Amino acid sequence: MKKIKIALIGAGYINHYHARGLQLLPNVEIVAVVAARIETARAFADKYNIAEATTDVTTLYDRKDLDAVVISTPNKFHAPYTIEFLNHGKDVFLEKPMAMNGGEGVEIKKVSDATKQLVMVGHMWRFDNDVNFVRQTVDSGRIGKIVKTKGYAIHENWGPAGWFAQKELAGGGALADMGVHAIDTARYIIGDPLPKKVYAKIGTHYGSYDVDDSGIILISWDNGAESLIESGWWQPHMDGPEAATGIYGTKGYANVFPTYLKYKVDNTPEKFEPNLPVRTEHCDPTMYNRQMEYFVDCIVTRKQPVPGLEVGQIILDIVDAAYKSAQTGEVVNL
């Protein structure tokens, strides 16, 4: 069996999940890890038995034994690193958000189209059991035509530090960090409609950083549904955990996190709780495993990943529109 050789660009929290998922696959070898500090890279490499640890990402561009990379760096480096690796014949798994803004996303797609290399974007909730149960319920028509959704992406009494709270490195704050999860989860569950209008109120109320920590975003979709999204750090309360979503249909209601359905049986309202795998933690590690398995399968089969460039670009465009709406006080048409 030919080994798919992959390098990890970044040694932060999320790449531990990716490393564990990749090491479950018998046809994958992680050949290198890159971090800003060599001590961090070496510790990561030792933990996962990776042969090479380095601080110099440029040494990997021309590696002939490298098939793909997983990029989990500050957002500022997403586009430039991805473009370099694509130009050097490597497929890319790119953490969300795909880039600092929609313009960078367009540039990534141009290079991907020219090189025929693949890009997958890390909207991982699409690989979650509960999320997929609710999507399948919506697809079945059981709760009718979707009227609206409510989704949450809140850190209660907590918020990240470091590059996440620096506009130069992150591009945005809680909306770019957390809000993208709620936006993509809602969109995925209701069948990936296209956004038509965005209106947002975004502010900074809980910290001294130069990015947002509070946001309310209203999205109008081309299927007639409306989505209300809340993003935030350091909030004193949250109505649901990350990616929690309520789906309101003409015949019923579906909720994810906690996951249940409400609809009428013999004209009597009933609540149903599905028999789904028990979650050991909210961000269920198995969804990251399935995400990496799918990425590697795309490398082998050369099929375009979903979520890929199209999904990533739509989320970037919504985020850009939300920030613009918050600045102007006006609805932004897409």
Does position 120 have pLDDT exceeding 90, yes or no?
Answer: yes
Residue 195 domain flag: yes
Q: How confident is the model at residue 2 (pLDDT cuts 50, 70, 90)?
A: confident
Indicate whether 164 and 115 sit together in one domain: no
Domain of 241? 125-285+315-333
Residue 181 domain flag: yes
Indicate whether 258 and 151 sit together in one domain: yes
DSSP structure string for 264-309: EETTEEEEE----PPPSSSS-HHHHHHHHHHHHHHHHH-PPPSSBH
Average pLDDT in the 70-87 region? 98
Measured CA to CA, the distance from residue 324 to residue 275 in angstroms comes to: 42
What are 92-101's pLDDT values in tens digits?
999 999 999 9
What are 219-273's pLDDT values in tens digits?
999 999 999 999 999 999 999 999 999 999 999 999 999 999 999 999 999 999 9
What are 282-306's pLDDT values in tens digits?
999 999 999 999 999 999 999 999 9
**Report field, pTM of the whole predicted structure over 0.85:** yes
Q: How far is CA 324 from the centre of its chain?
A: 21
Report how many domains make up the chain: 2
Q: How confident is the model at residue 156 (pLDDT cuts 50, 70, 90)?
A: very high
Does position 1 have pLDDT exceeding 90, yes or no?
Answer: no
Indicate whether 129 and 114 sit together in one domain: no
Note whether 313 and 102 are within 8 A (CB).
yes
Token duo for residue 52 = 């090479």
Average pLDDT in the 115-127 region? 98
Indicate whether 108 and 210 sit together in one domain: no
3-state helix, strand, coil in the chain (%, to 5): 40, 25, 35
> Considering the chain, what is the average pLDDT of its residues?
97
Residues of the chain with pLDDT > 70, as a percent, come to 100
For the purposes of burial, counting CB atoms within 10 Å of the CB of 174, is it exposed (0-12), middle (13-18) or buried (19 or more)? buried
Indicate whether 54 and 163 sit together in one domain: no
Indicate whether 17 and 54 sit together in one domain: yes
